[in-house]
Amino acid sequence: MSKKIYLIAGHGTEELVEFTKREKVPSGRIIVCFPICGRANFMRECCRITHIMNLPEYAELLSNPIDNKNAIEKLFTIPIRIYIPNDFFPKLSTNLFLNFEKRGGIVLAKSGVYSLAKIPPIDRTILPNTKTVSQKLGTSFCVPFTGLIDAPSDYTQEIHTELFRGNLFEPALAEYDNLKSRSFTITQIIDTIGNGIYYYVGCRALKRKYDMVVYNTIFNMSDSQQENSDRLMPVLED
Q: Give the residue from 193, 215, 141, 204 showing the smallest Cα distance to 29.
A: 193
Whole-model pTM: value is 0.92
**Chain mean pLDDT for the chain:** 87
163-180 per-position pLDDT tens digit: 999 999 999 988 676 666
Which amino acid type is present at position 56? P
What angle do helix axes 69-76 and 43-52 make, rounded to 10 degrees?
Answer: 120
- What is the model's pLDDT at position 4? 95
Question: What does the pLDDT read at residue 138?
Answer: 60
The yes-or-no verdict on residue 238 having pLDDT over 70 is no
104: left (phi over 0), alpha (psi -120 to 50) or beta: left
Per DSSP, the three-state class of 113 is strand
**pLDDT for residue 131:** 54
pLDDT score for 10: 92
Per-residue pLDDT, 180 = 67
Q: Compute the distance between CA of residue 95 and CA of residue 132 in angstroms, rounded to an integer.
A: 26
Q: What is the pLDDT of residue 1?
A: 41
The whole-number pLDDT of residue 113 equals 98
pLDDT computed for residue 210 by the predictor: 75
Instruction: Count CB neighbours of 146 within 10 A.
Output: 27
Per residue in 110-128, pLDDT (tens digit) is 999 999 999 999 887 887 6
Measure CA 194 to chain center: 16
Average pLDDT over residues 42-59: 90
Range from 120-124, 136-140, 184-188 that averages highest in pLDDT: 184-188
CB-based contacts of 209, cutoff 8 Å, min separation 6:
none
CA distance 121 to 109: 10
Mean pLDDT within 199-209: 83
Backbone angles phi, psi at 13, to 5 degrees: -140, 165
Q: Residues 202, 9: contact at Cβ < 8 Å?
A: yes
